[in-house]
Amino acid sequence: MSAGLADLVARYARKEKRMSGRLHDRVAVVTGGALGIGGGISRRLAAAGAIVVLNDIDADAAEMARAEIDAAGGRCVLVIGDIRDRAVVDRVRDTALSQKDGLVDALVNNVGDFRPAARTFLHSTEEQWQQLYELNLLHVLRMCHTLLPAMIANGSGAVINNATVEAFRGIPYAAPYAAFNAGVVAFTKSLAVDVAQHGIRVNAIAPDLADTPQTPAALMLRGRDPDLIQSWVPLGRFGTPDDYAAVVEFLASDDARFVTGHTIPVDGGTLAASGWYGRADGKGWTNLPTHP
């Protein structure tokens, strides 16, 4: 091996080592961290060296996630329970603060759901709105409110909220869901301004078309030609949990040290396309979905 190539290999190895441990010994809280996008986030942050405090309502799935993280050499502590419950929020806080001298370095508010859904807004009920509010927005406010004091005391921290591209465009059958996620986006911007003076950054991601247990690709593709994915998604595929987790890791790390108040769409280009679809024959684009 030439001296130049050997130096290149050595520099690459050093970079890989630095990147793999860029959250070393930091405490990261992940709500809904067992499956889907949250599962990808927990595993990725643990692989980057973080001590992951994983909250989930599904005890079996959470235990499986912890086992996988432990087997890979990571560290994970579980807090089982519904994050909509104020007592669970308090348990997550106490568990996180007990990990490392009362420090919390990152908070990932991942929990969210479009269910309970209704056929139209007029068929929805106030009880459904309340559930969607608690699932998509209220717990975000609570988790930030309960963990920000520890970040302020430390003079640093990163909050990453999980919203949706539906906060930026119209979606049928799910108007309250979209409204509460738009609230997450607005809250992210405003909180970022509030806490910047304390060295805390607040950002969000906006996923679309995630292949997860909640929204499996097989279900989305039922009765459809899978070759048409390239017509719906400019990058030509559905997202995997690690696609979203990679952006969360970036936002939690010092690499994003000058990024705050933003929501990053992680969507394969669907929001940018804004209603335009690739033609099935590969000859350009159309805004008429029935067009070939």
pLDDT by residue (tens digit) across 174-229?
999 999 999 999 999 999 999 999 999 999 999 998 888 777 777 777 877 888 78
Higher pLDDT, 59 or 20: 59
Is residue 19 pLDDT above 70, yes or no? Answer: no
For residue 117, what pLDDT band results from cuts at 50, 70 and 90?
confident
DSSP assignment letter at 210: B
Question: Does 177 participate in catalysis according to the annotation?
Answer: yes
Residue 292 in domain: no
List, in sequence order, every residue forming a beta bridge with 207; answer none if it has no partner: 266
Residue 8 in domain: no
Task: State residue 217's pLDDT score.
Answer: 78
- Residue 192 CA to residue 151 CA, distance in Å, equals 13
Residue 207 in domain: yes
Q: What is the pLDDT of residues 127-177, one digit of tens each?
A: 999 999 999 999 999 999 999 999 999 999 999 999 999 999 988 889 999
Task: State residue 2's pLDDT score.
Answer: 61
Task: State residue 10's pLDDT score.
Answer: 46
Task: State residue 209's pLDDT score.
Answer: 87
Q: What is the pLDDT of residues 118-139, one digit of tens each?
A: 888 999 999 999 999 999 999 9
Domain that holds residue 111: 15-216+238-272
Residue 291 in domain: no
Q: What is the pLDDT of residues 96-106, one digit of tens each?
A: 999 998 999 99
Task: State residue 248's pLDDT score.
Answer: 98
Is residue 265 pLDDT above 50, yes or no? Answer: yes
> Of 12, 133, 173, 177, which residue is the catalytic one?
177
The region of weakest confidence among 5-19, 45-59, 133-147 is 5-19
Residue 227 in domain: no
Task: State residue 292's pLDDT score.
Answer: 47
List, in sequence order, every residue forming a beta bridge with 110; answer none if it has no partner: none
- Kindly report the pTM of this predicted structure: 0.87
CATH code where residue 189 lies: 3.40.50.720
Is residue 14 pLDDT above 70, yes or no? Answer: no
Q: Is the peptide bond before 116 cis (omega within 30 degrees of 0)?
A: yes
Domain count, the chain: 1
Residue 106 in domain: yes
Task: State residue 290's pLDDT score.
Answer: 60
User: How many other CB atoms are there within 10 angstroms of residue 128's CB atom?
Assistant: 16
Residue 66 in domain: yes
- For residue 188, what are the contacts with CB-CB under 8 A and spacing of at least 6? 159, 161, 163, 202, 203, 204, 261, 262, 263
Is residue 84 pLDDT above 50, yes or no? Answer: yes
Residue 285 in domain: no
Pairing of strands 285-286, 277-278: antiparallel
Is residue 15 pLDDT above 60, yes or no? Answer: no
Task: State residue 18's pLDDT score.
Answer: 40
